[in-house]
Structures are given as structure tokens and as C-alpha cells.
Amino acid sequence: MSGVAAAVDVDVIVPTIGRDSLRALLQALAAGAPLPGRVVLVDDRRDAGTPLAVPAGSPFPVEVLRSGGRGPAAARNVGWRAGRAPWVAFLDDDVVPDPEWAARLVADLRDLPADVGGSQGRLRVPVPVDRPLTDWERNVRALETSWWITADMAYRRPALAAVGGFDERFPRAYREDADLALRVLDAGWRLVRGERSAAHPVQPASAWVSVRLQAGNAADAWMRHLHGRRWRARAHVPRGRFRRHAAIVGAGTAAVAAAAAGRPRAALAAGALWAVGTGELAWARVAPGPRDRAEVARMVATSVALPWAALRWRLQGELAAAWRRPRRWARASAGLGAVLFDRDGTLVVDVPYNGDPARVEPVPGARHAIDQLRAAGVRVGVISNQSGVARGLLTMEQVARVNARVDELLGPFDTWVVCPHGPDDGCGCRKPSPGMVHQAAAALGVAPERCVVIGDIGADVEAARAARARGILVPTPVTRPEEIARAPEVAPDLVAAVARVLGAA
């Protein structure tokens, strides 16, 4: 690694769904200055039946992880938690870094004060200069002035760990970056702007893209519940036109209701207000654009649907937030780094030395319990003794296939740690030794003392005790009475154990 690259150690995380633009990003990174670390691509395709297409011959190491199609927030969490570098740089898979990006990233980060938790790069959106911009082009160009977006944003690893990373309750690429920035700021860190830059080309989009983007109104509802009414000012997010959209929908609804009630004058008046509001919205989008026939037709058609979509998504977000009463991601997991589960007998029905994925059966309530942890912002992992490998009854390939099936049914988990040794091998990882707890905690970037270990036998809680973690025993028919008597905490089942962890018992 060159002297420039060695000055700062950075993990570059790129969540992707396999878009063609990923190739351009990797080619741009390869053509520029040497990278100051490794590149991690997080494959967030829901059904990743084929390997992610990665160009061969890359001059830097590229690692591919999978996040199971849970959205960009979860994908970024998978990426940064798998690394060790003190800085984590996030790039979107549709940006094209400048040739000097890597060198300027190092310069941006090298001498930052210790209280700076993040550095934002500068985005440039190439647009036509020989004609007015379309509505979609103007929408993308607004990224140039957006604050703290993870299209190009670097964070210190301790800052990410302090707030628990991205809030995975934001399922779309919208507001999860603003939420993270506000939580990092609230934790006492500063955020600054760097000098590195990248291009963000305008990708092709359907005629109805503006209507689909209204799904972001649900995220706005969550932001208000999480950060208060002043969240827009703090995150430098313009207020937008939602109030006008609500007025248009109100007028249209009143017109329909009046007509149904046999009040034609009221229906006509409300309908006129709806038409004026819709016309004003369409003109506000048409006027700055090229005004060709196709653009005008798109703006008129989408302006009719857009307010209704905006209100529908906002109501959905408000109802979901009111029902779930979301707490801040960091607060929900305050003092709790991760929950580590034993596999056999705890997450899945114990089948001795099982090497057949078809025989994997989750214990009752397992998926619900683990989803409760994820919803609260708690990371989850598995630590599993697999002595069948040492005994010659299993291969690591069989263990991996069974683990993949568990991931498919209950996961994906944020980390897996497996000990293939036997009881007489004298290793430090096999439970009741604390090795796997330490390994899992390190993989997740948390202290072992902030972990909870849940298992069904005494070795599980003894490993927790040795690692200074919290241990909870969930007895099964194979659990010995003396193990139950010695356990620091006992829960009747997995759901109750998780409820105890979350303070709901």
C-alpha cells in the first residue's frame, strides 16, 4: 500500500442491488489514486440467486457481503460492522468518484479533531447546459446542496458504534442518513464537509417516478416522532409542499362528498379549488422545465396523482409511528451492544450433528423475538459449538449450509461465529470459554460487556460470564437441573428472554 493510502485506514462501504452503475463506480475507484483501505460491496438483492457481478482484476481488495434485501440502512450496517478500520466511507452505487477522490478522502480525514465524527463529500450532478432541466433532473440536482447524505459520507467507527449505526426501521433510501446525522450530533460529535468530490449522474427514470418518491413522506412522519417538530431545520431539509398537497386532497375529497350528498354548488366550489391547486402544482413543475409536449403531459398527469400519494404515505407513516411509538435507535439499545444466540436448542430445534438444511426448524416465536430486537435497533449474532466437525460427523460446508438455512428463516444475522473443535481440543473459543463471545463482539464493534448471550445449556451462560457479558438461560429438556440452578437469569422461552432484554418483561 502506498504512503498516501497508509496515512488513514478506511473501509469503503457500497450497498447495491446490482445496478449497472456499480461497474462505473468500481472502474472510477480503480482508475484513481490508491484506496486507503478495502472496498465492501453489500449485496442487498432480496433474491440473490446469482453472484454479484464484480469486474475482475481490481487493483484493490473487494469483499462482497449479503444483507438479504432489507434496505440500504441495513446493508450499510452489515458493511461497516464487518470491518475494523477507524473510518468508514459510504458511497452509493450510482456515484462516480473523481480521480483524486481517494487522495482527497485521506486529506479530508487525516488531521480532523477528535470530536469530528463525520465528513461529507461534495456531489456534482452533470446536467444538460443547452436546455432547461426536466422535473426529474432538477430533483436529482438537489443532491448537490443536501446535507449529510450517504451518497458520499465518511464516519468515524466509534461514532457509528456510539449510536448503533443506521436505523433499519427506515426501509428505503430516504431520511435514514439524516436520522443518523442527527443522532451523531446529539451524541456530541461534529460533522464537517470535506473537499473530495464525486459525480452523481441522472439515471433514467419512469414517467411516474415523482409519484413513487412520495413514499418518502412516511419517513418524514418517523423523523418528526423521533426528532421533534424542528427536525427539518436541524437536518437542513426544506419543508416542501406537503401542506399544499393536503389542501388539494381535502378539496378533492370535499368535492366528491358534496356531489354524493346532492349538493352541486358545494361540489362545484370544492372542485374548483381542487382544479386550481392541481393546476398550480402542474405549472410550478412545468414552468422551469423544457415545456415540450412529453414533459408537459408527464407533469400534468403526475400532478393529479402526486398529492394523493403524498397524503397516503404520510398517513401511513403517522399511523405506524403512533402504533409503534418509535424510540430513537440509540436510546432503544442504550447500554446494549448485541444479543448473541446459541443455535441448536435455542434458535432452532436441536437435531444432533445436523448437516441437512431441510431439517432446520425454528423454535416457536424465534422469528418474532429476533424481529423485536431488530426493531429496537439491537444487533443480533449466533455463536455455536459444532464439535461434530472435530468428531468427523460433519464438514464445515455442511455447517455453513445449515447456518444459511437459519439465516433464511430467521435472519440474516449480523455475525456468525462457529467453533469446530471438540471438548478435548483445548481451544479458547468453544463454550464455556469466552472466545466466541469476544469474536462476535469484535465483529460487531461493541464491548463484550454490552452483549447478552441467550442459550439453552450451562456452557452458554458460563461463556457469557467468562466474557463479562450478561447470560440468560432458556431451559429445554436437555438442560440439567444444576445448570438451571447456577444460571444468573432463567427465562421460560425465547420470547420471554428477549422481552427481558428489552425491558418489557
Give pLDDT tens digits for 222-233: 899 889 889 999
Check whether residue 263 and residue 230 sit in a common domain. yes
Check whether residue 147 and residue 223 sit in a common domain. no
Q: Residue 114 sits in a domain of what CATH number?
A: 3.90.550.10
Check whether residue 217 and residue 105 sit in a common domain. no
If one counts every other C-beta atom within 10 angstroms of the C-beta of residue 443, the result is 19
Q: Which of 11, 98, 108, 342 is catalytic?
A: 342
The pLDDT of residue 335 is 59
Does the active-site annotation cover 342? yes
Check whether residue 192 and residue 268 sit in a common domain. no
Choosing from 144, 170, 205, the residue where a domain stops is 205
Does the active-site annotation cover 186? no
The pLDDT of residue 456 is 97
H, E, C per residue of 143-199: HHHCCCCCCEEEEEHHHHHHHCCCCCCCCCCCCHHHHHHHHHHHCCCEEEEEEEEEE
The pLDDT of residue 415 is 92
Check whether residue 394 and residue 339 sit in a common domain. yes
Check whether residue 49 and residue 183 sit in a common domain. yes
Burial 401-432 (b: 16+ CB within 10 A, else e): ebbbbbeeebbbbbbbbbbbbbeeeeeebbbe
Check whether residue 191 and residue 235 sit in a common domain. no
DSSP of 48-72: --S-----SS-SS-EEEEE--S--H
Check whether residue 132 and residue 226 sit in a common domain. no
Structural domain boundaries enclosing 304: 206-326
Q: Residue 442 sits in a domain of what CATH number?
A: 3.40.50.1000
Q: Which of 9, 108, 344, 456 is catalytic?
A: 344
Residue 74: which of 112, 32, 45 has the closest Cα?
45
Number of domains in the chain: 3
Give pLDDT tens digits for 4-46: 344 688 999 999 988 889 989 998 998 888 888 889 999 888 7
Average pLDDT value over all residues in the chain = 89
Check whether residue 230 and residue 339 sit in a common domain. no
283's grid cell: 405549472
Give pLDDT tens digits for 410-451: 978 999 999 999 988 889 899 999 999 999 998 888 888 889
Residue 432: which of 466, 474, 456 has the closest Cα?
466
Check pLDDT > 70 for residue 503: no
How would residue 332 be classed by pLDDT, with cut points 50, 70 and 90?
A: very low
Distance separating alpha carbons of residues 258 and 252, to the nearest angstrom: 10
Check pLDDT > 80 for residue 327: no
Residues 117, 121, 122, 125: what is their CA dihedral angle, to the nearest 10 degrees? -130
Distance separating alpha carbons of residues 349 and 351, to the nearest angstrom: 6
**Can you give the pTM of this predicted structure?**
0.67
The pLDDT of residue 173 is 86
Give pLDDT tens digits for 364-394: 999 988 988 887 778 899 999 999 999 999 9
Choosing from 265, 298, 326, the residue where a domain stops is 326
Give pLDDT tens digits for 273-291: 999 999 999 999 999 999 9
* Mean pLDDT value across residues 464-480: 93
Residue 273: which of 302, 307, 239, 309 has the closest Cα?
307
Choosing from 309, 326, 343, the residue where a domain stops is 326
The pLDDT of residue 445 is 82
Check whether residue 89 and residue 178 sit in a common domain. yes
Check if the beta carbon of residue 42 is closer than 8 Å to that of residue 75. Answer: yes
Check whether residue 215 and residue 267 sit in a common domain. yes
Distance separating alpha carbons of residues 389 and 418, to the nearest angstrom: 11
Check if the beta carbon of residue 251 is closer than 8 Å to that of residue 275. Answer: no
How would residue 68 be classed by pLDDT, with cut points 50, 70 and 90?
A: confident
How would residue 1 be classed by pLDDT, with cut points 50, 70 and 90?
A: very low
Check pLDDT > 90 for residue 51: no
Check whether residue 436 and residue 487 sit in a common domain. yes
